[in-house]
């Protein structure tokens, strides 16, 4: 009897979207690439972040990788709620499960953060309050699931309200903020209302950076202030879930639907992505570090440093277009050669945590001989030998990054073939 029930339940579930796995794998591969490219003088600027706290700001490919990953996290939520671990559960049960999973992701983030400094400074209780990639993802995930339990209008209202509230923080009076926080713009950067120094001072105020000592109160202020990052991230994730609903409607498409008609969801998704990008462009139109633009002193740039509304919509819009392309070419068109990306996408958390931990504990610490007779870490040593062989600093840096990606792709492929998946 149980096998019959399981079969019926499985038949009721929508088919797994290869496009989601492929895009998630692509984002993880890009994350490994940009994390392992260090020679800024020899490589394209798109492989590096816009300098933190630079008045010009903007966004490169590297600046979009993290929010794309959050978008993919949100894209999986409606599938999980509808036919995965949330099937048949009450809203309270789903929220409890999401909170537990978010806490696990947060603690894995704490472990990765500690791994980067535990051999040089002691671990203290403050380590639990330090923010990084997985900590933000863990909290944003809980918020996303909570929002997803709302009606569709509630989801859209959350996105609009959060982005408007985020934009409103940029309008806090300069006179009020500057009395509490001493702005710390780069040398020569403009100061005053409507400038980048103003935005950065607001960031310091929200995160408790103006408190000179890392006390419990400053850390709690920072926790509250980090809502100006994990809430915008949750909006990107909710938009990812809405994107998935365009591809997998609650009522399945009839099997008799023609091939051309099956491209309609991808077309609708592409239209949504273009709309989000248009709004993003308008929000930052004419931004100047001195202040000014289409929206006057409220005009803010694409900024990962401050998670501006323009940046969030740029990330969500570009991710939506990428997902539409993946759906059209893979789910419908059957594009070959994506199996290794799908394997990475199905084990994204294992690949990311494994790569980060192994790099911080082994590849950045263990010493190997260099061509000049000295010694350095495995990562630096491989690049040194590649540089000697190729005579090109760019080839050396990219060669190491590609080896890193290929190695983790092989691990993900092996795990996938054996049906081993690490999920929280």
Per-residue pLDDT of 118-173, as tens digits, reads: 888 888 877 888 888 999 999 999 999 999 999 999 999 999 999 999 999 888 88
Q: Count of residues for the chain?
A: 424
Strand partners, 367: 377
Number of H helices, E strands in the chain: 16, 2
Contact assessment for residue 403 and residue 29, using Cβ atoms and an 8 Å cutoff? no
What values do phi and psi take at 189, rounded to 5?
-75, 145
- Of the pLDDT bands very low, low, confident and very high (cuts 50, 70, 90), residue 208 is low
Q: Which residues contact 340 (CB under 8 A, 6 or more apart)?
A: 25, 409, 412, 413
**pLDDT number for residue 10:** 43
Domain edges within the chain: 15-48+336-424, 52-334
Side-chain-facing half-sphere of 362: CA atoms under 13 Å: 5
Q: Which residues of 291-319 are buried (b: 16+ CB within 10 A; e: fewer)?
A: bebebebebbbbbbbbbbbbbbbbbbbbb
Mean pLDDT of the 278-287 span: 96
Contact assessment for residue 310 and residue 58, using Cβ atoms and an 8 Å cutoff? no
Structure-token pair, residue 370? 């260099």
Total-model pTM? 0.91
Tokens 């700001």 belong to 57
Mean pLDDT of the 35-48 span: 88
3-state secondary structure of 265: helix
Q: Which range scores top for mean pLDDT: 89-93, 411-415, 418-422?
A: 411-415
Give the relative orientation of helices 91-115 and 348-358 as an angle to the nearest 10 degrees: 20
Calpha distance 143→136 (Å, rounded): 11
Smallest CA-to-CA distance from 195 within 287, 291, 284, 305 is with 291
Smallest CA-to-CA distance from 402 within 378, 381, 383 is with 383
């Amino acid at each position: 009897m149980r096998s019959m029930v399981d079969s019926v339940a499985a038949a009721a579930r929508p088919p797994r979207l290869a496009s989601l796995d492929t895009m998630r794998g692509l984002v993880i591969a890009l994350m490994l690439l940009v994390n392992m490219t260090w020679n800024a003088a020899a490589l394209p600027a798109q492989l590096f972040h816009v300098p933190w706290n630079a008045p010009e700001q903007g966004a490169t490919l590297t600046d979009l990788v993290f929010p794309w990953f959050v978008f993919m996290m949100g894209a999986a939520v409606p599938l999980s709620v509808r036919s995965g671990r949330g099937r048949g559960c009450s809203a309270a049960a789903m929220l409890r499960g999401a909170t537990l999973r978010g806490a696990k992701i947060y603690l894995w983030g704490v472990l990765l953060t500690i791994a980067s400094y535990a051999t040089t400074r002691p671990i203290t209780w403050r380590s639990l309050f330090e923010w990084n990639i997985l900590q933000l993802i863990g909290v944003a995930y809980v918020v996303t699931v909570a929002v997803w339990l709302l009606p569709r209008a509630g989801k859209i209202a959350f996105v609009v309200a959060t982005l408007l509230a985020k934009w409103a923080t940029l309008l806090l009076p300069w006179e009020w903020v500057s009395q509490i926080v001493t702005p710390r713009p780069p040398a020569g950067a403009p100061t005053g209302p409507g400038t980048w120094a103003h935005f950065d001072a607001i960031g310091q105020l929200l995160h408790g950076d103006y408190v000179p000592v890392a006390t419990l109160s400053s850390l709690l202020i920072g926790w509250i202030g980090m809502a100006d990052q994990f809430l915008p991230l949750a909006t990107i994730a909710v938009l990812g879930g809405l994107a998935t609903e365009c591809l997998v409607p609650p009522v399945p498409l009839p099997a008799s639907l023609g091939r051309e008609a099956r491209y309609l969801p991808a077309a609708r998704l592409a239209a949504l992505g273009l709309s989000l990008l248009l709004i993003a462009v308008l929000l930052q139109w004419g931004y100047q570090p001195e202040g000014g633009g289409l929206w006057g002193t409220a005009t803010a740039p694409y900024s990962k440093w401050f998670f501006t509304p323009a940046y969030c919509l740029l990330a969500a819009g570009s991710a939506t277009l990428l997902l539409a392309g993946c759906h059209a070419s893979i789910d419908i068109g059957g594009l070959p050669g994506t199996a290794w990306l799908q394997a990475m996408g199905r084990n994204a958390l294992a690949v990311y945590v494994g790569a980060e931990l192994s790099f911080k504990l082994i590849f950045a610490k263990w010493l190997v001989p260099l061509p000049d007779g000295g010694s350095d870490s495995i990562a630096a040593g491989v690049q040194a030998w590649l540089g000697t062989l190729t005579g090109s600093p760019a080839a050396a840096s990219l060669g190491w990054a590609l080896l890193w990606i290929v190695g983790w792709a092989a691990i993900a492929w092996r795990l996938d073939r054996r049906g081993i998946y690490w999920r929280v």
